[in-house]
Amino acid sequence: MSEAVGVGRPSGALRKILVPLALAQFICSFAGSNMNVMITDISKDLDTTVQGVQIAITVFLLVMAALMIPGGKLTDRWGRKRCFTIGLVIYAIGALMSAVSPGLGVLILGNSIFEGVGTALLIPPVYILTTLLFSDMTSRARAFGIITGMGGVGAAAGPLIGGLITTAISWRAAFVFQALIIAVILWLSRNIVDPIAPDPTRPFDTLGAVLSAAGLIFVVMGVLAADNDLALMAVLLAVGAVFLAMFFVHIRARERRHEEPLLSTGLFRNRTSNFGLVTQNVQWLLLMGTAFVVSAYLQVVRGYNAIQTGVIFTAVTGGILLSSLAAERLAKRYAQRTLIMAGFITTIAGVVVLLALVGSRPSPWAFAPGLLLIGLGVG
């Protein structure tokens, strides 16, 4: 694997590289959704509340989001492969801590903190290595399609796999499953070579990292406070907006001084890039939001167990798989913009159908049509 990166690399070697990268995206997306079906089991076993478990889920996503940009910048100093490996190890430690956690505090430390930090370190290298190792546009597009597709499958299949493991063994075994997948990824990625040598002297924008993380943390905390205190929500959102504004002013000042910022504002001058970022963020908001809200509703309101909740979510998984399999063929016949708009329309139709059927019918089958349409649209 030490030969130069480019079109000369054998396709078989490229496929071997792609497997651990796609698996890494799968397991991180899986972690973001599989706990949704374990809420009741975990709260009973750890003698805590449903809200406590939901906080653990939210803090994981918060830590991951807050540290993702700094984690991406660290790849320049530490190297893509090294960050990927360190992230995997930290993630595995967090999964094992969660598996043996005696209470909510240790669960938050293992699942929310360690797994969140690990994800923030390992995900940026997945996409950077893919961009560098797959040099031609065709192979790169397919590689990104596979990786993002595995992410969608991981998020959609998380409730089903998590429900099966929880019902058959225990919710703790689901975290052991994650650690085992990480071990497999570490073994499969052992021959990946960083195509660009790390530069330990590369400057790191520490103040920018602090400001961006603080802004994101306060914004998410504000959203979480919406259920209990609207005044507190407004204050937290305002504080978050101030930190993000300070972050923007800070990176602009660094750019004017010709210093390397944490995030280049030039990225946001590209309309195609902006459209892609907005599309992906809305896509994940719809998928993860649906998984979070519907899973909690099924367990807390309907009283379904983990496996019943997971089985209901197979409709989403099936929809994503169907549309992902057809994506390449559809891309040859229709413009990408047309496909994206059709996806959003289908997803919105799925949400409408889900609300209409679930509200009027007690049967669990009432969830299937709406969730299937959501999966098709997101995929």
CA atoms of 350 and 90, how far apart (whole Å)? 37
How far are the Cα atoms of 300, 317, 378 from residue 323, in angstroms, in the given order? 31, 10, 8
Question: Residue 315 in contact with residue 367, Cβ under 8 Å?
Answer: yes
pLDDT of residue 225: 75
Say if residue 185 is in the same domain as residue 209.
Answer: no
Closest CA to 119 of 59, 193, 50, 207: 59
When pLDDT is averaged across residues 30-43 and rounded to a whole number, the result is: 82
Say if residue 136 is in the same domain as residue 227.
Answer: no
User: Which domain range does residue 128 map to?
Assistant: 7-195
Say if residue 124's pLDDT is above 60.
yes
For the stretch 130-180, pLDDT in tens is 888 887 777 777 787 788 778 877 877 787 788 888 888 899 999 999 999
Say if residue 107's pLDDT is above 70.
yes
Identify the sign of the CA torsion 349, 352, 354, 357: negative
Q: Is residue 288 part of a domain?
A: no
For residue 108, give the DSSP letter: I
For the stretch 68-99, pLDDT in tens is 888 888 888 898 999 999 999 999 999 999 99
Q: Is residue 360 part of a domain?
A: no
Q: Which of 21-25, 31-35, 59-63 has the lowest mean pLDDT?
A: 31-35
For residue 260, give the DSSP letter: P
Q: Which of 1-5, 57-61, 190-194, 317-321 has the lowest mean pLDDT?
A: 1-5
Q: Which residue has better confidence, 262 or 32?
A: 262
Q: Is residue 148 part of a domain?
A: yes
Say if residue 306's pLDDT is above 50.
yes
Question: Residue 348 in contact with residue 202, Cβ under 8 Å?
Answer: no
Say if residue 178 is in the same domain as residue 211.
Answer: no
What's the mean pLDDT when you consider all of the chain?
84
Structure tokens at 195: 């195509």
pLDDT of residue 90: 96
Question: Residue 185 in contact with residue 20, Cβ under 8 Å?
Answer: yes
Say if residue 223 is in the same domain as residue 181.
Answer: no
Say if residue 204's pLDDT is above 60.
yes
The model carries a pTM of: 0.78
Question: Residue 145 in contact with residue 328, Cβ under 8 Å?
Answer: yes
Say if residue 16 is in the same domain as residue 163.
Answer: yes
What is the residue type of 19? V
Helices 11-34 & 115-133, crossing angle to 10 degrees? 150
How far are the Cα atoms of 125, 139, 140, 143, 343 from residue 135, in angstroms, in the given order? 16, 7, 7, 11, 29
Say if residue 130 is in the same domain as residue 33.
Answer: yes
Say if residue 156 is in the same domain as residue 31.
Answer: yes
CA atoms of 181 and 177, how far apart (whole Å)? 6
How far is residue 39 CA from its own chain's centroid? 19
Question: Residue 321 in contact with residue 378, Cβ under 8 Å?
Answer: no
When pLDDT is averaged across residues 250-265 and rounded to a whole number, the result is: 88
Q: How confident is the model at residue 285 (pLDDT cuts 50, 70, 90)?
A: confident
SS3 label, residue 223:
helix
Question: Residue 377 in contact with residue 290, Cβ under 8 Å?
Answer: no
Say if residue 230 is in the same domain as residue 249.
Answer: yes
Number of domains in the chain: 2
Say if residue 145 is in the same domain as residue 232.
Answer: no
Say if residue 97 is in the same domain as residue 149.
Answer: yes
